[in-house]
Amino acid sequence: MHGVDVFSALANPIRRDLLVHLRKGPRNVSDLASNFELGRPAISEHLQVLRKAALVREEPRGRERFYHLDPRPLEEVGMWLESFERYWNRRLDDLEVLLNEEDAK
């Protein structure tokens, strides 16, 4: 029920890989699990985390469950990241200032 922080959801490399695999289209659990050296319960639990973070949506189809990618929550990460973009170039000036200070000693 209670949601999961998107950043926390992305902290695990397997969960990131799961999202990458889901870019190719909806997949069921066994299909996804076959890409990892990991038991199926583990994958199922990772999918639960992604679901709580609203990064995937599940579509039951018969006895299988197809998971769909929902990239919307990634926008939050993107926006947070954008607030740092202006510091991309500024960093070099910053380093320069520091080096000059050290040279001045």
Partner DNA sequence: TTGACGTGTCGGAGAGTTCCGACGTATTGT
Partner DNA sequence: ACAATACGTCGGAACTCTCCGACACGTCAA
| Site of interaction with a second copy (CB under 8 A) | 5, 7-8, 10-11, 13, 16, 19-20, 23, 59, 68-72, 74-75, 77-78, 80-81, 83-85, 87-88, 91, 94, 98
Say whether 61 sits in a helix, a strand or coil. Answer: strand
CA distance to 40, 78, 81, 88, per residue, from 84 (Å): 38, 10, 5, 7
| Contact characters 31-50, DNA, x per CB under 7 A | x------xxxxx-xxxxxx-
| Residue 12 makes contact with DNA by CB under 7 A | yes
Rounded Cα–Cα distance for residues 97 and 25 (Å): 49
Is the Cβ of residue 37 or residue 84 nearer to a second copy in the bound state? Answer: 84
The H or E element that residue 31 is part of is helix 29-33
Is the Cβ of residue 29 or residue 74 nearer to a second copy in the bound state? Answer: 74
Least CB distance to a second copy at residue 41 (A):
23
Beta strands in the chain (DSSP E): 27-28, 56-61, 64-69
In whole angstroms, what separates CA 70 from the centre of its chain?
Answer: 11
62, interface contact from a second copy, DNA, none, CB < 5-8 Å by kind: DNA
Is the Cβ of residue 45 or residue 80 nearer to a second copy in the bound state? Answer: 80
